[in-house]
Amino acid sequence: MTVSYENSKTIFEGIKAAGIRSVSALPETWLGLLLGRIEEDPDMTLVQVAKEEEAIGIAAGAYFAGTPHVLLMQNHGFFGAVNGLVSLAMLYHIPLCMLIAYRGHWGEPYPWHTRGGIVTEGVLRALGIPFEHARDPMKVAKQIREAWTFSQSSLSPVALLLTRDLMED
Amino acid sequence: MERAGCIEMIYPELEDRIVVTIMGACAQELYNLGDRDNFFYLQHAMGLASSIGLGLAMHLPAERVIVLDGDGSVLMNLGTFVTLARYRPRNLIHVVFDNGSLLSTGGFESQTAAGVTDLAAIARGAGIEHVATASTTIEFGEAFLAALECEDLSVIVAKVAAVGPEHYGMDLHLPENAFRFKRWIKTRKRA
């Protein structure tokens, strides 16, 4: 299994088409090709963090500044960012558009990802964060655009789960 | 020296700049000097004030961003120093008031209280070039003016007494704070 070159490109184009010009991220295998494109694009600002919770603060700063921003992280990084999500984003009604690599689910060969994958949707539900699965490269650009729009109208964090179907060839 | 005196000394410089402060005593002392639309009081999410500052500074290069942080908060997000150093926003001043205490939650000693951990050294080791320390109000004022003049990412670690205000309370709802802060920035961008 390798990370999908074509679908990484499609996601990148979807992010740009949604008007996003700023991205915070912690590099992750599935996100590597996508982050490479973002880094090379002169129209995009990429902030690479040491831990995902920082990205919640950075995204809040970008929101206050009026710059459309998405967060890229793995689901395990999302777990590490929960207090920032709750006591910054939700508490202050700050919208966040998160694209989350959904590791550790159907087809996962690596044991170390499995616990995180199993609890991801439950944690999202417990936090009241609306989410959808991105599986189809034909639909992902629209899903990114809609996730972005919904985050802004609801002033809430929203999550698009990037699945194995989409991220691997 | 006391943090309230430090904030009072630099308050005139904060009137027209983007300010992010941490929770508790620090927020209250700034508020008591005079609440302003350009102040964001992060009343929870300890550690993220400097990350918010980084996001603001990177996306608003024409503005000056001031973060008022504390040892208890910054210890929860030491990684912020390496990210700040990497992106080095020239328009960000990160003040860390080090009182060696988790004052707002009962005054328990923080890890800096024993005198072993040096936050300024951590910031320098992370790769931040301009790091100052201050132990008197005059030193702090001078360090802050120097940071304003140097127009580069600056960290100031100010050793302060573990004392805070007698009363806590703000006539400001948290989402209201976020909404008006964003609106102030938007109005500035139009001007």
Show residues of chain A in contact with B57, CB under 8 Å.
61
- Chain B: give the shortest CA distance to residue A146, in Å: 23
Give the distance from residue A141's alpha carbon to the nearest chain B alpha carbon, in angstroms.
25
DSSP result, chain A: --B-HHHHHHHHHHHHHTT--EEEE---GGGHHHHHHHHH-TT-EEEE-SSHHHHHHHHHHHHHHT--EEEEEEHHHHHHTHHHIIIIIIHHT--EEEEEE--SSTT---HHHHHHHHHHHHHHHHHT--EEEE--TTTHHHHHHHHHHHHHHHTSEEEEEE-HHHHB-
Q: List chain A residues with CB under 8 Å of B58.
A: 22, 45, 47, 58, 61-62
Q: CA-CA distance, B97 to B113, in Å (whole number)?
A: 12
Report the percentage of chain A scoring pLDDT > 90. 99
Query: In this predicted model, what pLDDT tens digit does every residue of A69-125 receive, in sequence order?
Result: 999 999 999 999 999 999 999 999 999 999 999 999 999 999 999 999 999 999 999
Across the interface, whether the CB atoms of A50 and B44 are under 8 A apart is answered no
Predicted local distance difference test score (pLDDT) of residue B114: 63
pLDDT, position B190: 74
Residues on chain B touching A96 (C-beta within 8 angstroms): none
ipTM for the predicted complex:
0.97
pLDDT in tens, A8-31: 999 999 999 999 999 999 999 999
Per the structure, the count of domains in chain B is 1
As given in the structure block, the two tokens for residue A31 are 């996100």
Q: Which domain holds residue A62?
A: 5-167
From the CA of B175, how many Å to the nearest CA of chain A? 4
Domains: count for chain A? 1
**Domain harbouring A122, CATH code:** 3.40.50.970
Cβ contacts (< 8 Å) between B55 and chain A: which residues? 24, 47, 57-65, 69
Residues of chain B with Cβ-Cβ distance to A47 below 8 Å are 54-55, 58, 83, 87
Q: Does residue A39 have a pLDDT over 90?
A: yes
Interface check for A66 against chain B (CB to CB < 8 A): the answer is yes
Contacts of A90 in chain B (CB under 8 A): none
**Segments in chain B below pLDDT 50:** none
Three-state DSSP state, B163: coil
Q: Give the residue from chain A lying closest to B19, CA to CA.
A: A61
Domain holding B74, by residue range, is 3-190
CATH of the domain at B89: 3.40.50.970
Of B48, B87, B189, the CB nearest to A84: B48
Which residue of chain A comes nearest to B183, CA vs CA? A64
